[in-house]
Structure 1
């Protein structure tokens, strides 16, 4: 049985003052029925891990380099994230793919490094509005899955997050039927590549304008095992009802 996961991506938001939100979140969820993961900016990662020490909330990074070390000014390795207290790392987010030109093979190399370091790789896939309107969604997703996911993936070290680019931070959300179609497609692809055991054990998240008022409906879609939440994860008061909806799904 896949344990559901509520993951929060803080993106480039938050300073030390934001740690109080983590403390409030931990206080409100002392024994959650789902896994909770918060991915703050790298500057807060270690302090977040310390603030959540003893709590049932994990912390993760937002990116990592494919190399274990070296002359890569400004980059952070998977081992460094692990050392700072991370248990997971988001990879291949559309903002990384678009803003930094990351290709599927780059994401794959980073995911391999993350897994080798003992981190869970949360690999993001998603189509643009133009690709959706051209009915190319499944082709795009299929290419991202085959190109971005390493062969060493298992249900323990891989999470796949479907985030339609046109829904991220826009308030636009795909229909439940559209979400279900993509999640069913991802599940089938994983089962075909890795076998039924691994393919059925990988958790699939939906991300893109998830809010307290639409979370319950999204979590009722088959093969949606949770959410990767952006802006609504910055405040405990906003993230808590999303977690509650997932616990009740």
Structure 2
């Protein structure tokens, strides 16, 4: 009886493993199919957007020349919407580049504090001010456009989910590790914690909260960009402590990284 019970237990365990692997394979297949479809659509949409933007720019110049304020306002709204759509298409194409190992960086020295000072006013509001603490200068080797993309995503999320009349705290520090000097940038807000089931998959593509209107690509791309810089992106969100994202970058990187590539996360 004991032997039979053990045998039954082994069989049940194997059946559970097979079922779990089948579910994971099906989910992986759906994700890959969705990525391929969206990538094809993104390429085609960008081809349509280029002449559309040119036409809107022409209408804008006509409205300015003829002092048609209402038409100018409507055209500007259309251009803003088109810019957001172009940004979304860029995110989809970035995912394709990551999967294909074609994601490259243009590394150059930059002062992280200058970059923050340039970006903060666009996100800070009276109800949700952004407070920055750190040294006057932190120079690191990074791709300024890609680093801006990461910080913009984190600041936008922090401000969006922060409680009203509470500040978003940005803290920059330098630390000495065994492998050299590192810079840490933390972005912390006081707001409801991220649900545990969402937190476990937060950096995967096409994962978004119920209140999100996006496709769930921002944090996946942010982590991929940070990893391409040989750094780390982590998150802590629990209880009443709020949520904190922390970027960690080595201050010095190999110059070959400027022409290197980044493959899918599971291959790194």
**Fold conserved between structures, TM > 0.5:** no
More helix by share: 2
* TM-score normalized with structure 2 length: 0.24
Higher relative contact order (CA 8 A, sep 6+): 1
